[in-house]
Amino acid sequence: MSTPIKTEEKGTRQVVAMSGGVDSSVAAALLAEAGHDVVGVTLNLAGDTSRCCSLDDVEDARRVAEELGIRFFVANYTERFQAEVIEDFAVSYLEGRTPIPCVACNKSFKFDYLMERASVFGAEHVATGHYARLTTNAETGAKELRRPRDLQKDQTYFLFQLDQDQLARISFPLGELTKQEVRERAADLGLAGAHKPESQEICFVPDGDYASVVERVRPEAKSHRGQFVDTKGQVLGEHRGVHRFTVGQRHGLGISSDRKLYVLKIIAEQQQIVVGDAQDLDAMSAWVDEVHWISGQTPEAPVRARVQVRYRHTGVPATLNPEEGGRVRVEFDEPVRAVAPGQAAVFYDLESEDDARGQIVIGGGWLSGRGPS
């Protein structure tokens, strides 16, 4: 049994991450309206080359803070963001993985570094505009991360690395609201970002051209060449670098064939792209490394869960088999298509599906490949 975590006592100081968008703006407004001492902080991450946290966004956030009458500060983390997120993004592609930089950004910048700033301001709590909910387990006292009311905006997939100490200091003011309600609230308040469009792309890849970002960060990638091979090792053509492909990709391969071919596997050390038929993408199991359990406790026995292997994946029931070294072997109840190394596998508690408060995130980690059939 779980009960909602109430918003902190009226009048507490809370630092709110403000991106300049409608979600974080309304989150700040709701807390200010509730009587909290709100401090808005914008993290300047990717400079003016980004659609998120750019210099324009900083000014949008500043205007909203003025409208709300709250204090506002800008924290410059561009060098750290370059080293910890963008560099890792490029290296991951060159090593044949498909990274999710938003997870690292959320963990390190939206929470770790934001909490550091909160301490400077004498605030114990931080808040963001993420669509997620928090509850506390009545029996164990552990904090629980749950899907939001608006499942179309669910962002828990990107938050699986949060720990108990962090969850005790976080609030998600939008967890009980739909996106439409958030926009309506922003309009009612006359906030500048009420109708600001959303970006569905990675913030530092605004045009969707991942390969060019990799080549800018790692110029040596421009000279990489390799071969397409089928599952029997037969050469089907040449390509211009493994950083241009991801498992499950069909379009843009540049292979002349009388059948539809998909990327099945990327062997970076040999610069090989293995292609095959759609059914060859189905996996009944997968390996997940660097698993983080939100409770802080690694299960001693297999666990049943719903496993989501990419952001828009609906997830499938599966059995989690914890192994040594923080690894889990996931056995799916039904075939899962395009298990891509580098993507996150997030685990949701099956028993909480019928709970009116929604599914609980129990943990997650990084897909390292298909498991045994």
Active site residues: 105, 203
Enumerate the β-bridge partners of residue 262.
Answer: 276
- Unique residue bearing structure tokens 């963990």: 107
DSSP state of 105: I
Q: DSSP for 118-166, please give it.
A: HHHTT-SEEE---S-EEEEETTT--EEEE--S-GGG--GGG-TT--HHH
The three-state secondary structure class of 104 is helix
- Residue corresponding to tokens 């596997």: 265
Buried b (16+ CB within 10 A) or exposed e, 332-344: beeebbbbbbbbb
Side by side, the strands of the sheet bearing 37-44 are: 71-76, 37-44, 13-17, 125-127, 170-171
